[in-house]
Structure 1
Amino acid sequence: MTAAQQARSRGARRWAIDLRPLRVTDYRRIWLGNGIATFGFQFTAVAVPVEMYALTRDSFWVGLLGVAGFLPLLVFGLWGGAVADARDRRAVLLGGSVLLWASTLGLLAQALLRVGSPVLLLVLVALQSVAFAITSPARSAILPKLVPKHLVPAASTLNYTTFTAASVVGPLAAGLIFASWNTDVGLPIAYAVDAVLFTVSLWATLRLPSLPPEPDPEGDGTPRRAGLASVVDGFRYLATTPVLLLSFGVDLIAMILAMPRALFPEIAHERFDGAGAVGWLYAAIAIGSMLGGLTSGWIGRLRRQGLGLVLAVVGWGVAIAAAGFAHQLWLMVLLLGVAGAADLVSAVLRQTMLLVYAPDRMRGRLQGVNTVVVAGGPRLGDLRAGATAAAFGGGVAWVAGGVASAVLVVVLAVAFPALLRYRAATPAGPDRAKGGDGEPAAAAADGGRATTASGGDRE
């Protein structure tokens, strides 16, 4: 290999996604199971709002799906995080997964029986949300137990990129189903695909070893309880870290004000007049996130992570607003893809700050808060978009949300500059280093690192 070829190879490795975590058997198995299950879930994620809009012809009802998803997240996400810090995390995952599977089977049954009840759809979505809220903190908290510490950021990025890849292919496949069959036939097919593929995730979880949380080094040895006091303790810890609070705050603003998901069925129907267009709209953000994840190596070398997070969230709002003006499907998909790439960057930086900061004894509870923010924010965004569209129309609801999101994030960042000052730490020994704002920066207990990690879901 010539010197030029070697230089190109090194350059590619610096930009390409890190695949080393896949060498670890337990992680590889759970990654595969979750990836296949995530692909299956995209069929349900498209089918439910399509069914709701077909039943009601009203985006407000589609927006109510966000309420049905958010309220259980608010309660059970925090409680699920406390449970993940007090119980065997494998057992928590299994219990929540069985409940999630049962709710999917319920959606399949009501579609086959043609019940046609918007209220029943809301109930089943709420049940799915309860199950997700229980499993998500435990699933995130076990990651440092499955791979060596220095591979945690790379494994997190793999998880997020796999999720976004499934979010690209899944909605497109769901769109083909609804383009090929009418709603009465397409809905049972979509729900059945989800139910069948989810069995792979159950298998992968069953193969996990026991994963109890680490004991509190400052405790008296008594078992930790998953009660209100434990949840409050997690919030008390979070209150001492303004950088994490601000990172959650800007994400909530972006998702509540600028998430256009509830408007996709209406916009596809009014502007593009084709059932296949809705699949492209649901896939577009994930396409951008996937491409961003595949080229995410540079993010790990970013020192001013706080500034990068703010710029990424502002970029999300601007791209969403621009997409709202598009009347060509290809242009709307392109701009939503740009928004998705910005969302990938913000998720990577936000989760980097969280994963390298939180101790294991707090990881479940903080991931519970993260679940409420990451999954609950878009659901509140569904409600906001649906209600605004009902009052002013889908186009106004879309554009105004993106603009408001970008402006408010800038205002928040300027008013509370701790996030803008935050920098990733250079290796500084076993203890956390201090960032530019006096807050602990992104250094790890194995000598300090500032590499990529990614967060959760816009599920």
Structure 2
Amino acid sequence: MSVVDDKRRKSWMIDTSPLRVTTFRRMWIGNGASFFGFQFTAVAVPVQMFAITHSSFWVGLLGVAGLVPLLVFGLWGGAVADVVDRRRLLLTSSALTWVVTLGLLAQAILGVRSPHLLLALTAVQSIGFAISSPARQSIIPRIVPTEMVPAANTLNYTTTTAGGVLGPLVAGVIMGIWSTGTGVAAAYAVDALLFTVTFWATWRLPAIPPIEPDDSGEKPTAGLRGILVGLRFLVTQPVLLLSFAVDLIAMVFAMPRALFPAVAEDRFGGVSAAGWLFSAIAIGSVLAGFTSGWISRVRRQGLALTVAVVGWGVAIALSGLAHQLWLAVVLLAVAGAADLVSAVYRQTIMQTFAPDRLRGRLQGVFTVVVAGGPRLGDLRAGATAQFTGVTTSWVAGGLLAAALAVVLALAVPALIRYRPVPELAENAER
């Protein structure tokens, strides 16, 4: 292979340069392990709910149970992340999530079979996630140089989605071998065990206290006033606002996750197929991540984000028409590739556009949108399927998401015109 060919190949391979930063490398390992474990729970909870109720609507209600606390604690958690040491906040909120996982394990072992308890545990788990996520994501620009932020985000998304591939597949195998009760208990146990890795990684982080207020004179607070300051900044920045809006459209209208248990049983022959459906989107994201060297070189980040969201919607719609499992998996994987691209640019735009004094609060809004959107999507998909059928709910949602993204981008072109402005790293800690 010639030198030119080798350089061209490397330019398309995933950029691993942020792993040279020791602090980021530890955090990356911890996030990857914990997300892999969480995928067992992400599959087990809806499968257990469907086994108890035999209703896609009840599965969709899991989205509501996760959404309500997310709306409240996501914003509050972001405000707190601008006031306290982000490492300490991440440790505390992660502990809450781990306790909930133990609760899920206990109810499965005891055979409680209560849909209301599943909804309650999902809600508390969402609180832990809502508080930890703004802290975790706002740490990244503090531990890597600004020019490495897109590559760091790509590494994180690729690794977590790799867990999203293996986790659901292994969970599907476990639940296919054993009875549903034993299978979901084993899935919760794996999640609880692997979550300890993220405690180690977070414990090894350096202290990350808030940066002193700048010339604006605004001192961050964890109360309503602090939240409102972040929201006022957001509504005056069309680029940020539109990046949040297109993601919300994509997730609310084109997330078919709540339909996977019913489709696996009725169309593809059993619970083991659910593992493939839940992992398919992540498969595409991983493959896209391994060939993502080009992502950091794109200047029209807003346009790339918009195109990726449209691609997501179209691929989701086509996957809903598939009656062969392999075809559904391939089309969902294409959607997952588009999702990785849009996710990296959404995160990067937010992290580099916002000043550090507001980064936690804006990350809180980002968490509400990114995590709340799929939960609303679960509710929409499950409720719509009750009246129109699974296929119509799935396909129409994907097409509507693609169409709305195009309309919004053309009506307010600030996002598709956006190009990042080169900056110096604010505080690259190693």
TM class, shorter-chain normalised? over 0.9
Instruction: State the SS of the aligned residue for 1:210.
Output: coil
State whether residues 307 and 421 of structure 1, in contact with CA within 8 Å, keep that contact through their aligned partners in structure 2: yes
State whether residues 84 and 210 of structure 2, in contact with CA within 8 Å, keep that contact through their aligned partners in structure 1: yes
- Of residues 301, 319, 322, the one that matches 1:323 is 319
User: Which residue is 1:288 aligned to?
Assistant: 284
- Of residues 258, 262, 267, the one that matches 1:271 is 267
Instruction: State the SS of the aligned residue for 1:105.
Output: helix
User: Which residue is 2:25 aligned to?
Assistant: 28
Displacement of 1:59 in angstroms is 0.1
Query: What is the identity percentage for the equivalent residue pairs of Structure 1 and Structure 2?
Result: 63
Q: Which amino acid aligns with 2:70?
A: L
User: Which residue is 1:245 aligned to?
Assistant: 241
User: Which residue is 2:120 aligned to?
Assistant: 123
1:270–1:153 Cα change, 3 Å: same
Displacement of 1:219 in angstroms is 5.5
User: Which residue is 1:16 aligned to?
Assistant: 13
Displacement of 1:446 in angstroms is 4.6
User: Which residue is 1:161 aligned to?
Assistant: 158
Q: Distance in 2 between matches of 1:341 and 1:443?
A: 27
User: Which one has more relative contact order, counting CA pairs under 8 Å at least 6 apart?
Assistant: 2
Task: Tell me, yes or no, if structure 1 residue 407 matches structure 2 residue 386.
Answer: no
1:39-54 → structure 2 map (5 Å cutoff): 39-54=36-51
Q: Which amino acid aligns with 1:323?
A: S
Q: Deviations over 1:315-368 (max 9, x none)?
A: 111100000000000000000000001111111222221121111111101111
Displacement of 1:445 in angstroms is 3.1
- Of residues 103, 107, 131, the one that matches 2:100 is 103
Task: Tell me, yes or no, if structure 1 residue 345 matches structure 2 residue 341.
Answer: yes
- Of residues 199, 202, 205, the one that matches 1:202 is 199
Task: Tell me, yes or no, if structure 1 residue 395 matches structure 2 residue 391.
Answer: yes
User: Which residue is 1:455 aligned to?
Assistant: none
- Of residues 302, 306, 310, the one that matches 2:306 is 310
Q: Distance in 2 between matches of 1:264 and 1:102?
A: 27
Question: RMSD of the alignment, in Å?
Answer: 1.3
User: Which residue is 2:253 aligned to?
Assistant: 257
State whether residues 357 and 443 of structure 1, in contact with CA within 8 Å, keep that contact through their aligned partners in structure 2: no
Displacement of 1:13 in angstroms is 1.6
Q: Distance in 1 between matches of 2:364 and 2:13?
A: 30
User: Which residue is 2:87 aligned to?
Assistant: 90
Task: Tell me, yes or no, if structure 1 residue 214 matches structure 2 residue 211.
Answer: yes
1:323–1:106 Cα change, 3 Å: same
State whether residues 357 and 444 of structure 1, in contact with CA within 8 Å, keep that contact through their aligned partners in structure 2: no
User: Which residue is 1:429 aligned to?
Assistant: none
Task: Tell me, yes or no, if structure 1 residue 63 matches structure 2 residue 64.
Answer: no
- Of residues 74, 78, 81, the one that matches 2:75 is 78
Instruction: State the SS of the aligned residue for 1:418.
Output: coil
Displacement of 1:237 in angstroms is 0.8
Higher mean C-alpha deviation, range 257-266 or range 297-306: 297-306
Q: Give me the TM-score of the superposition, normalised by structure 2.
A: 0.97
State whether residues 319 and 335 of structure 1, in contact with CA within 8 Å, keep that contact through their aligned partners in structure 2: yes
1:182–1:365 Cα change, 3 Å: same
Q: Distance in 1 between matches of 2:258 and 2:217?
A: 49
Q: Which amino acid aligns with 1:209?
A: P
Q: Distance in 1 between matches of 2:170 and 2:78?
A: 33
- Of residues 443, 450, 455, the one that matches 2:422 is 443
Q: Distance in 2 between matches of 1:218 and 1:442?
A: 21
- Of residues 149, 152, 158, the one that matches 1:152 is 149
Higher mean C-alpha deviation, range 242-251 or range 25-34: 25-34
Q: Deviations over 1:49-70 (max 9, x none)?
A: 0000000000000000000111
Instruction: State the SS of the aligned residue for 1:297.
Output: coil
User: Which residue is 1:428 aligned to?
Assistant: none
State whether residues 79 and 220 of structure 2, in contact with CA within 8 Å, keep that contact through their aligned partners in structure 1: no
User: Which residue is 1:456 aligned to?
Assistant: none
Instruction: State the SS of the aligned residue for 1:7.
Output: helix
Displacement of 1:149 in angstroms is 2.9
Task: Tell me, yes or no, if structure 1 residue 177 matches structure 2 residue 195.
Answer: no
- Of residues 175, 190, 193, the one that matches 1:193 is 190
Count residues in correspondence.
426
Q: Which runs of 5+ in 2 are unaligned?
A: none
Q: Give me the TM-score of the superposition, normalised by structure 1.
A: 0.91
Instruction: State the SS of the aligned residue for 2:293.
Output: helix
Q: Deviations over 1:268-316 (max 9, x none)?
A: 0000112210000000000001111111111222222222211111111
1:103–1:10 Cα change, 3 Å: same
Q: Which amino acid aligns with 2:392?
A: V
Q: Which amino acid aligns with 1:278?
A: A
